[in-house]
Amino acid sequence: MTPRWWALVAFGVLLVALVLVAALTVPWHRAPAPRADQVAALGQFPPEQVARARQFRAELRPGNYLGMALGLLVALLLGLTPLGARLVELAGRPFGDHWLARAVLGGLLVVLAGELLTVPLAAWRHTIVVRYGISTQSWAGWGADLAKSMLVGAVLGGLALAGFFTVTHFAPRWWWAFGAAGAAGLVVLLSFVLPVVVEPIFNRFTPMPDGPLRTELIQLAERDGVPVKDVLVADASRRTRAVNAYVSGLGPTRRIVVYDTMLTEATPDEVVSVTAHELGHAKDGDVLTGTILGALGAALAVIAVYLLGSWAGLLRLAGVDSIGEPRAIALLLAVATVAGLLTGPGQAFVSRHIEARADQHALDLTGDPQTFEAMQRRLGTVNLSDPDPPTWEFLMFASHPSTVQRMAAARAYARGER
């Protein structure tokens, strides 16, 4: 068989594997708690608080959607016209048009062109979150974090571009196979590396001092059968008032992380409740499942790009001869942008079901639905979340159940409904 036929076979096998993993690991059967309970939970919030949260979200909405539209427009403009290919050529020219310079510098230039256009929208968003008291960050701190984010993205993106186009350069007929394996391996590697390498760039983590809360969190993890390396406190207060906690890492890198804002805004029992939710992700292997699905998805994406490369009309629009050459970077990014928008609602749907299972785990582990409900109410209040967002927006973008759905689930649990 030709390489294209092997690619089709590999694509089919990986797609079946992806569907099977998702079918066996995602809790598809979970439905939201009764609407009557959700309405009752909404009544626990003062009307003026709900109005303020909705006004906050309404002010953020134009910038968010304009940023998405602008990102899509730039991606299509660069990817479906020769403009993107010319930018890549421009980046490689000082280095003798070497293919590696085109791949890395050209790719970063194409990405930078899109990101710079959205910086004013990000600044607009910052003014809003500061005005509503969510952000505590100065413009200097905001700019520093933006620079750090762009630098990290440039390093990771540069390595990915160099690896991908090295494969396409030296294995022009079979690059899809090596590229798919490399993309999957990179996803797995980053699952281990990001928590211990990238997270400290944006936050300072210190061990939680010995005391009753730390002891209780460690004992909670032991009782749950989830070994953790440490309990850390993140200095989130230097940029936000938002509260959060999470369990990050796999195996030897797993640790419980609590925002310092959580320690000042929430009661110890509420910290235990939200930590129990995060331990649920580890207990049910959600991080591992996400890594496997991500690896399979990355491999499928590489093969799909290879198969897409036979579409002569698309190549002609981009002004390139092959989708495996560096000049096609903008076309690749355009395809990735469109694919991300199309698959986003499906990913959000899966995420909501997984988060609902973790909520159930927290209720089972603590046996304290009252504290769980209080914690959800506090999260929504401090983070200025719309407790009951518009249905269309919730279905399109929400990665978690709504605040009233989570509170209603606690009420159903208290009645003995599982």
Tens-place pLDDT, residues 396-408: 999 999 999 999 9
CA distances (Å), origin 391, targets 103, 134, 371, 386, 401:
42, 24, 27, 12, 12
Tens-place pLDDT, residues 46-56: 999 999 999 99
Q: Is 336 exposed, middle or buried (0-12, 13-18, 19+ CB in 10 A)?
A: middle
Rg (CA), the chain: 23
Which candidate in 278, 284, 386, 388 is catalytic?
Answer: 278
In a domain, 222, yes or no: no
In a domain, 373, yes or no: yes
Q: Which residue segment(s) compose the domain that 350 sits in?
A: 36-204+276-414
In a domain, 16, yes or no: no
pLDDT at 190 over 90: no
Does 386 participate in catalysis according to the annotation? no
* Residue 21, φ and ψ in degrees, nearest 5: -60, -45
User: Of the given ranges (26-30, 144-148, 336-340), which has the lowest mean pLDDT?
Assistant: 26-30
Does 260 participate in catalysis according to the annotation? no
In a domain, 8, yes or no: no
* Residue 325, φ and ψ in degrees, nearest 5: -100, 150
Q: What DSSP character marks residue 209?
A: P
Band (pLDDT 50/70/90 cuts) for residue 250 is low
In a domain, 295, yes or no: yes
Question: How far apart, in whole angstroms, are the C-alpha atoms of residue 167 and residue 361?
Answer: 44
Question: How far apart, in whole angstroms, are the C-alpha atoms of residue 38 and residue 230?
Answer: 36
277 annotated among ligand-binding-site residues: yes
29 annotated among ligand-binding-site residues: no
In a domain, 244, yes or no: no
Band (pLDDT 50/70/90 cuts) for residue 36 is confident
Tens-place pLDDT, residues 348-366: 999 999 999 999 999 999 9
In a domain, 215, yes or no: no
- For the chain, the domain total comes to 1
pLDDT at 253 over 80: no
281 annotated among ligand-binding-site residues: yes
Q: pTM for this one?
A: 0.89
In a domain, 288, yes or no: yes
Cβ neighbors of 306 (< 8 A, separation 6 or more) are 7, 175, 176, 179, 323, 324
pLDDT at 202 over 90: no
Q: Is 388 exposed, middle or buried (0-12, 13-18, 19+ CB in 10 A)?
A: buried
Which candidate in 265, 270, 359, 373 is catalytic?
Answer: 359
Mean residue pLDDT of the chain comes to 90
